[in-house]
Structure 1
Amino acid sequence: MSKFWSPLAAKLVPYVPGEQPKDKKYIKLNTNENPYPPSPKVLEAIQAAVNEDLRLYPDPTCQQLIDTLADYHKLSSKEVFVGNGSDEVLAFAFAAFFDPAKPVLFADITYSFYKVYAEFYGLQADLVPLDEQFRIPLDEFMNRENGGIVIPNPNAPTAMLIPVDDLRPVLAHNQNQVVIIDEAYIDFGGESAAALVREYPNLLVVQTLSKSRSLAGLRVGWALGSEELIDGLNRVKNSFNSYTIDRLALAGAIAAMEDESYFLETAAKVSATREATSAALRELGFIVTDSKANFLFVSHPNVEAETLFLKLREQGVLVRYFKQLRIDRFLRVSIGTDDEMDAFLHAVKAIVQP
């Protein structure tokens, strides 16, 4: 610990992303990236944006991208906010909407960045335990005092989806608090809550280009909500950094949203591979949760998860292992191409059925 650190920096426990080793070539199934490249139209748009205008600041309002997203979601531009990845959008939302005097509610087993944001902003975190089937118990979000709620749908790392109509009681019961629905993985089999934005002024839906549109390297995310909520996000953003998205990212993001046919095609391929891999793992004796994301959450009754993780790594296959109470017998496995998943299954079979 450095003597130069502030008290805040000293107490933080930062988020730890999936490893990105460089020692050799791996089949990379540990960070939930899309195995398919982005739309060719995205690459064309970025290449076209590489010109002398890079000497100029990008549009701080990101208006063209906001208009594109508004058209896509059938909302007004005043109901859309964009940021440098959905992580940044979530960070701004924690700052804009949650009161340190009241606890923010989210699941005990979920995206670990939520805890980091809560600590960073000096918020109380009230963790809601998942049930024995790893489902988020929505009734708990209606029975606990809170200053805000975060529900990922589907949840990570469990991959389980909540039907959008099941979210309505939570939104109705918490009309004086902001309810964030984090939809990073919604495009792989779920229905978005975006259609509820005008019905519930306390709803903020957060999405990203990183997963279903193959643009984790571009860093663009957005939020959908009432004009009042979007104004709050803009107040925070413009007190931090007015130019959060660069010219190349803006061009690529617009092209990605406009090429819907490519997005639907690749998302469907990932979902089909997920279902085939899930079935094959069950045949090998694995417990597999019902995934509607681009990853699987799996456990084998006879082989420890950490052992599987290490042996797979030795064979050049990276998956994610969380050494955390209640889920330390599970692995999170991102969905790759059919060939990558075949190689993963071949490696797994050699471990569980030597």
Structure 2
Amino acid sequence: MNSWKDNIRTVEPYVPGEQPKDTNVIKLNTNENPYGPSGKVNEVKLDMNNLRKYPDAKVSALVNKLAEYHNIKPEQVFVGVGSDDVISMCFMTFFNSDKPIFFPDVTYSFYDVWADVYRIPYEQKKLDENFNIVKEDYMAENGGIIFPNPNAPTGILVDTDFIEDIVKANPASVVIIDEAYIDFGGKSVLPLIDKYDNLLVVRTFSKSRSMAGLRIGYAMGNSELIKYLNDVKYSVNSYTMNTPSIIYGSAIIDDEEYFRSTLDKIISTRERFVGELKRLGFNVLPSKANFVFASHKSVDANVIFETLKEKKVYVRHWNAPRISDYLRITIGTDEEMDKLISLLEDICCATK
């Protein structure tokens, strides 16, 4: 006997980092910015009466601001509800070949979920023993390529020449570089979008812009790529971005000084924290993100994870192949990291 369940699209969903209800915690598990957004948002006057109307489907105010900021044309910018929404649209729009798309085996764990949801064949290319992307693995025939730079959860950055070699070798595929963490010490490949019509660069306001709660992401590429993205967006949901996000997102771009100052603080804290982790016996991968990926030489990662959680400090741990010995730790304020260091000293000494 047939069942309605026969027609269900079943997938193994993405598991986001835990969002504790208790606000009296140190939350270092989802790579949020420890510093609030620019004070510019407090200067914005939001007319609540406007909320009765649909937002601008073209998101013109924010698109124009982003285009001006990045010195590109508005028709080269696509905006979505966080970079997750943007990348999901990219999978739906560009990855429709019967050839597999390529992404690393250790990377952002939403990629294989989207591939499964949209029934896209894929191959996960194994990082080398030091968790580096192997460029040559992306030179084979494929239906598209995506990876973060810096990679997540490793934090490891590749240079622009490395990426250009991959883009150049794949003229028949769209290559998407997810630059969610690029502002924390990397160099963007954005200048290459005018040289290669198959390159798309994705960014987010959730990390370096301190606006994870408003869900703003965007992609930049040649105008034809952006047109195809918008065609799909308007076929799914024309009004994806709400009015407050458009208004506040546009305002925050104007405060470059605050933006740079918070980046400098996070980078400085990261470098100091890496030194402390090494002192405590951790192996730390070289990070250019707002987090570090570290494993202790003798203490089990899950023991550290659970003990920290009991002490109301949240970090991220995956019980997954190759990375079960590692913890991903978001960089918080200096005070938060000092508290974490103190706890780690106790944990590591107690378990020796």
TM-score by length of 2: 0.97
Offset at residue 25 of structure 1 (A): 2.0
**CA deviation string 1:246-296 (max 9, x = no partner):** 110001111111211111110111111000000110011100000000000
Output aligned runs, 1:80-159, within 5 Å: 80-142=77-139, 144-159=140-155
Question: Which sections of structure 1, spanning at least 5 residues, go unmatched?
Answer: none
Offset at residue 50 of structure 1 (A): 3.6
Q: Distance in 2 between matches of 1:44 and 1:320?
A: 35
TM-score by length of 1: 0.96
Q: What amino acid is aligned across from residue 89 of structure 2 in structure 1?
A: F
Offset at residue 236 of structure 1 (A): 0.8
Offset at residue 151 of structure 1 (A): 1.6
1:17 aligns with 2:16: yes
State the match for 1:269 in structure 2: 265
Report the 3-state secondary structure (helix = DSSP H, G, I; strand = E; otherwise coil) of the residue aligned with 2:146: strand
- Which of 249, 255, 260 is equivalent to 2:245? 249
State the match for 2:59 in structure 1: 62
Report the 3-state secondary structure (helix = DSSP H, G, I; strand = E; otherwise coil) of the residue aligned with 1:18: coil
Q: Distance in 2 between matches of 1:58 and 1:264?
A: 30
Question: Which sections of structure 2, spanning at least 5 residues, go unmatched?
Answer: none
- Which of 302, 322, 343 is equivalent to 1:326? 322
1:29 aligns with 2:17: no
Q: What amino acid is aligned across from residue 179 of structure 1 in structure 2?
A: V
Pair 185,60 (structure 1): closer, same or farther in 2 beyond 3 Å: same
Report the 3-state secondary structure (helix = DSSP H, G, I; strand = E; otherwise coil) of the residue aligned with 1:49: coil
State the match for 1:283 in structure 2: 279
**CA deviation string 1:103-150 (max 9, x = no partner):** 0100000000000110011001111000000011111101x2201000
Q: Distance in 1 between matches of 2:13 and 2:252?
A: 31
State the match for 2:232 in structure 1: 236
Pair 85,24 (structure 1): closer, same or farther in 2 beyond 3 Å: closer
Q: Distance in 2 between matches of 1:276 and 1:238?
A: 46
State the match for 2:192 in structure 1: 196
Q: Distance in 2 between matches of 1:181 and 1:226?
A: 14
Offset at residue 23 of structure 1 (A): 4.6
Q: What amino acid is aligned across from residue 19 of structure 1 in structure 2?
A: E
State the match for 2:179 in structure 1: 183
Q: What amino acid is aligned across from residue 34 of structure 2 in structure 1?
A: P
Q: Distance in 2 between matches of 1:81 and 1:259?
A: 22
Q: Is the 8 A contact 1:105 1:128 kept in 2?
A: yes
Runs of 4+ in 1 over 2 A off after TM superposition: 3-9
Q: Distance in 2 between matches of 1:166 and 1:258?
A: 32
State the match for 1:340 in structure 2: 336
Question: Aligned pair count?
Answer: 348
